[in-house]
Chains A and B, each alone.
Chain A
Amino acid sequence: GNSVTQMEGPVTLSEEAFLTINCTYTATGYPSLFWYVQYPGEGLQLLLKATKADDKGSNKGFEATYRKETTSFHLEKGSVQVSDSAVYFCALILNAGGTSYGKLTFGQGTILTVHP
C-alpha cells in the first residue's frame, strides 16, 4: 500500500535556526508529493508540492526536493520564525490515471514550536 512516514516530533527550535523535517514514502505507483501546514485552530494549507523526480517545491522560504532514489521529500527552511509554529504534514497522491481518485495519504504530522 501507500504510506508516508515523518520524523517524530515535537520539534522545538529557536528563532532563526535551520529546520529539517524528514519525510519518506512508499507508493505502488509514481506519486505527487506535498507539504501541508496546519496552524492552531485552522484547517490545512498547501505549503508546497512536487510532481516528479528532482522537482523542488518552494514557498515562504520553505523548500523540499522530490528524491526518487531515496523516496524522500524532506522539508527545510534556513531561518525559522515564531510564526512558523504549526503542525506540518507530508502527503502523497498517486498519479495513475485516476486510481487514487480523491485520496490524499498523509503522514502522522510533525509539531514545530519556534521560540523567540
Chain B
Amino acid sequence: DTEVTQTPKHLVMGMTNKKSLKCEQHMGHRAMYWYKQKAKKPPELMFVYSYEKLSINESVPSRFSPECPNSSLLNLHLHALQPEDSALYLCASSQEPVGDLGANEKLFFGSGTQLSVL
C-alpha cells in the first residue's frame, strides 16, 4: 500500500461551520504534512508532524487546527474559515521528515480535499 488517502474529496462549508479533513497512510511513515494549494499555484506548507508531534507550524491562523491521533492518521480541524481559505488541501507523508540528514526525501501526496468556503 503506497497510498495517502484523503477524505472528503470535496467540501463546501459556511464561515460558521466546523469541519474536519482526514488523511491516512499505512506505509509506516513517520512524518506527515498539510499543504494548501491555491489554483495554478504551488503547494504551501502549513504543518509538519514528526513522530506524531507537531514540528513545524508555518504561522498558520488558529482557525486551522491539526491533530495527529496516531502514526497513520492526520486530521485538520476547520473552524470559522474565510472565503479566501478556499483551496485544495493536500496531505503528504514521508518515511522520515524531509531535510533530515540521510532521510529518504520522497514525499507521497494524497489527491487532496477541494474546500470551498461560502
Contact = CB atoms under 8 A, between A and B. Distances in A.
Nearest to B109: A43
B106 A43 contact: no
B68 to A, nearest CB: 14
Interface residues of A, number: 29
B4 interface: yes
Interface stretch (A18-26, A62-70, A92-100): A92-100
Nearest to A32: B105
A104 B97 contact: no
B7 to A, nearest CB: 13
Contacts, number: 76
B42 A101 contact: no
Nearest to A107: B42
A108 B40 CA distance: 8
A32 B102 CA distance: 11
Nearest to A98: B100
A102 B56 contact: yes
Nearest to B100: A98
A49 B105 contact: yes
A92 B42 CA distance: 13
B100 A101 contact: yes
B63 to A, nearest CB: 22
18 contacts: A42-B112, A43-B4, A43-B111, A44-B90, A44-B107, A46-B106, A93-B105, A95-B99, A98-B101, A99-B99, A100-B98, A101-B98, A102-B45, A102-B48, A102-B98, A103-B45, A103-B56, A104-B45
